[in-house]
Amino acid sequence: MSVKHALSRGLELGRSVLQGGLLKAGGRVAAKLRAERLRAEPALRTAQPRALLPARYRYYRTSLRGLAAQLQSAGLFRRFVGGAPRNRAVFLAFGLGLGLVEQRLDEERLGAKACQEIQAVFQKKKFHSSLKPFTFGYKLEDYVIGNQIGKGSNAAVYEAAPQFASSKESERPSPLVPVEEDKDEHESRRVRSLTCCSLRNFPLAIKMLWNFGAGSSSEAILRSMSQELVPADPVALKQEKEQITLDGSFGVLPKRVSAHPNVIRVYRAFTADVPLLPGAREEYPDVLPARLNPDGLGNNRTLFLVMKNYPYTLRQYLQTCTPARRQACLMVLQLLEGVDHLCRQGVAHRDLKSDNVLLEFHSADGCPRLVIADFGCCLSQSDSSLQLPFSSMWVSRGGNASLMAPEVATAIPGHGAVIDYSKADAWAVGAIAYEILGQQNPFYGAVGLQSAKYQEQQLPALPSGAPADVQLVVQLLLRTDPSKRPSARVAANMLHLSLWGQKALANQDSAGLRKLLDWLLCQSAVVLLRGCGGPGGTGVEAELQRSFLCNLDLEDLLTAVGFLLYGRQQRQACILSAEIH
C-alpha cells in the first residue's frame, strides 16, 4: 500500500471515529466547560472535566489537541522503533486530522466569544421613539379626535392630538367633536393620504376596538382584548389596572414585548364609553351601542389604544410607489427584524399582511420605516416555544387564511397535536416581499396559490431587477417544509451580509471565519461612532445595523453565510449551463 493511500485511509478512519460519537462527546464536554466557566467564580475555573468521560475515552480527558499530539507522537515513535509504514501513516494522519479539527473548534470558540461581547455592548442601547413622552392621556377626554384614517374587521382608527397640542387655542377643535368635512372629503376618506400639516396637528392615532360580547366592565374588556396589549408600553395602563382578572383568576396581563423600531408601540390603553365619532353611522352602525344606534349590537364601553400616527399602510404605499432595489431590500429586512424580535420574546403575529404594516418617511437616509401593527390575533407565550396545542378544530389558527404558513394551514387537530408558529411569520414575510418587489402577492386573488397545497416550483419568478440575494431569501422563506426554511434571524442575517458584508463573503477559505470576525468588529465600530453623533446615526440603515449586532449569534451567522454561498454557486452553475447550451 502506498503512503498516499495510507494517509487517505487514516483520514477516513479519523473521520469515521469522530462521526461515531467521540467528537460529539468532546463537544458536550466543551459546552459543559463553557457553561461552568460562565457560572463559576474565578477561583473555580481550574476544574478539570475528568469525571465527565468514561475510562475508554482517556485521551479526551484533556482535549482534542492533546489526543492529536499523542497520536502524532505515536506515529513518529513507530517510525524509529519499527512498525509497518501503513500503521505509522494511519497514526500520523489521524493525529493531523484531529489537530485540524481542534484548530477549527478553537476558532469557532473565539468567534462565539467575540459575538457574545459585541451583542452585550449593543443590548445595553435601548430604542428610543421619536415621539415625545407624555404623562397624561388615560382618559378619552384628554384627546382631540380628528377624522377616521383606517378601519378593519374589529376596530376603527382615528387621528388624534393631545388637548394642549395646538399652539393657538382658537384654532383647536373641541374634544370629541367631529372635525367639519365637506362631501368630497367624506367620499375620499378611506383612501385619504395624510399631509405633513395633518401629521403635525394630529401626531397620534386612537384605535377604538369594537365590543360585541366582552361586557362593559373594564376587567372583562381587558381580559377579552388582552392580545392588543402585547406591544403596550410599561406605563400604557394606569398602575391600578396592571393586575386584572384573567380566565377566572386574579393574575397579570399577558407578556408584553420590549420596544423595537419595527414593531408598533401602544403608549396608552384605557376603557371608555363609545362616543359617536366621525363616520360612525355610515362606516360601522352595527357595532354602535343602542344609545347611539337603536339597531346597534355593541356594548357601551370598549378598549381604546393610543399610538403614533403613521401616514400610510404598506399596501397604500405600494399602490402608488415602487421602491428602488436597495429600498426594497431594506423594507424586507425591516419586516424580518420585526418578526425576529417578536419570536425571541415568544410572540407570533399570525395575521401579517401589508394592511397590518405601517409606514412613515422620517428617516435620515430617505428609506421608509416599517412597523408591524395590529396584534389582535397574536399568540403570546411565556415559554417562547410558539407551539400551540391543537386539540380540536375550535382552536384558532390565526387570521388571514391567504397568508397562513403551510404547516399552519395543513395542521390536523388531535390528541397531542401542536401547531409550530416559530417560522410562520417569516413565511408570510416571503409572500409580502412579492408586493414590495413590484409584483402581485402569489397567494391573493381567485387564481392565487393556496398555502396548503402549492408546490415551490409553482411560485412565479420575481422581477429580474430584484437583487439576487433578495430573490434567494424569498425563495427560501417560501419553502413548504419549515425544517428547510430559514428562521427570520437567519434570513435577516443573509440580507445584512448582502448589503454590508460583501467583503466578508468574498473568497471564503480557511481564513473565512477570521475575515467574518474582522468585518463584525469594523461594523461594530462604525455603528458605535454613528451613535456618538456621527452622520446617519438616526436613519433606518443605522437602526437595522444596531438590531443586527444586538442579536448577533455565530451559529445563525454561519448558517446565513452557507445559504448565501450555496445560492451563488447555484446561480453560477445555471449561468455555465446556459452558456453551454
Q: What are residue 250's DSSP bridge partners?
A: 245
pLDDT band at 457 (very low <50, low <70, confident <90, very high): very high
Amino acid at 299: N
pLDDT value for 191: 37
| Of residues 354, 353, 352, 351, the one with CA closest to residue 321 | 354
CB 181 within 8 A of CB 278: yes
Give the separation between CA 265 and CA 126, rounded to whole angstroms: 14
The lowest-confidence range among 59-73, 394-408, 559-573 is: 59-73
Higher-scoring residue by pLDDT: 283, 505: 283
pLDDT value for 263: 96
| Of residues 401, 408, 399, 350, the one with CA closest to residue 379 | 350
Question: What contacts 484, CB < 8 A, 6 or more positions away?
Answer: none
Give the separation between CA 474 and CA 239, rounded to whole angstroms: 44
**Averaged pLDDT of the chain:** 78
pLDDT band at 80 (very low <50, low <70, confident <90, very high): low
pLDDT digits (tens, 9 = 90+) for 330-357: 999 999 999 999 999 999 999 999 999 9
The residue written with cell numbers 468514561 in the block is: 54
The lowest-confidence range among 218-232, 304-318, 383-397, 525-539 is: 525-539
Give the separation between CA 183 and CA 543, rounded to whole angstroms: 42
Give the separation between CA 139 and CA 45, rounded to whole angstroms: 57
| Of residues 275, 310, 316, the one with CA closest to residue 190 | 316
pLDDT value for 380: 87
pLDDT value for 112: 81
Question: What contacts 279, CB < 8 A, 6 or more positions away?
Answer: 147, 148, 186, 189
The residue written with cell numbers 363609545 in the block is: 274
Q: How many CB atoms lie within 10 A of CB 452?
A: 15
Q: What is the pTM of this model?
A: 0.77
Distance, C-alpha 266 to centroid of its chain = 19
pLDDT value for 13: 53
Higher-scoring residue by pLDDT: 70, 163: 163
Q: Which of the following is catalytic: 233, 340, 351, 425?
A: 351
pLDDT value for 199: 75
CB 176 within 8 A of CB 145: yes
Q: Residue ranges per domain, the chain?
A: 3-123, 140-309, 348-580
Element containing residue 289 per DSSP (H, E): none
pLDDT value for 538: 62
Higher-scoring residue by pLDDT: 439, 199: 439
pLDDT digits (tens, 9 = 90+) for 484-525: 999 999 999 999 999 998 877 876 555 678 888 888 988 888
pLDDT digits (tens, 9 = 90+) for 153-184: 899 999 999 886 544 433 444 444 444 444 44
Higher-scoring residue by pLDDT: 456, 9: 456
Residue 459 φ/ψ, nearest 5 degrees = -65, 135
pLDDT value for 237: 87
| 26 pLDDT above the threshold of 60 | no
The runs of H, that is alpha helices, within 202-253 are 218-224
Question: What contacts 467, CB < 8 A, 6 or more positions away?
Answer: 325, 328, 329, 498
| 3 pLDDT above the threshold of 50 | no
Q: Please spell the DSSP secondary structure of 340-396, one letter per residue.
A: HHHHHTTEE-S---GGGEEEE---TTSPPEEEE---TT-EE-SS---EEE--STTS-
CA distances for 520 relative to 457, 531, 561, 563, angstroms: 36, 16, 13, 19
| 325 pLDDT above the threshold of 90 | yes
The alpha carbons of the chain give a radius of gyration, in whole angstroms, of 29
Mean predicted confidence (pLDDT) in 281-302: 92
| 243 pLDDT above the threshold of 60 | no
| 383 classed as catalytic | no
| 313 pLDDT above the threshold of 90 | yes
pLDDT value for 411: 94
Q: Which burial class, exposed, middle or buried, applies to 241 when counting CB atoms under 10 A from its CB (0-12, 13-18, 19+)? A: middle
Mean predicted confidence (pLDDT) in 206-229: 88
CB 236 within 8 A of CB 225: no
Higher-scoring residue by pLDDT: 561, 574: 561
Q: The dihedral of CA 55, 61, 64, 65: what is its sign?
A: negative
The residue written with cell numbers 487517505 in the block is: 8
| Of residues 50, 63, 69, the one with CA closest to residue 109 | 63
- We find that the CATH architecture of domain 348-580 is Orthogonal Bundle (1.10)
Q: Cα 284–289–293 angle (5° rounding)? A: 70
CB 340 within 8 A of CB 263: no
Mean predicted confidence (pLDDT) in 271-279: 92
Residue 215 grid cell: 361586557
pLDDT band at 526 (very low <50, low <70, confident <90, very high): confident
Amino acid at 416: G
pLDDT value for 195: 46
Q: Cα 175–295–278 angle (5° rounding)? A: 25
pLDDT band at 201 (very low <50, low <70, confident <90, very high): confident
Give the separation between CA 349 and CA 227, rounded to whole angstroms: 10
Give the separation between CA 269 and CA 439, rounded to whole angstroms: 37
Give the separation between CA 270 and CA 250, rounded to whole angstroms: 19
The lowest-confidence range among 91-100, 357-366, 439-448, 529-538 is: 91-100
Q: Which burial class, exposed, middle or buried, applies to 526 when counting CB atoms under 10 A from its CB (0-12, 13-18, 19+)? A: middle
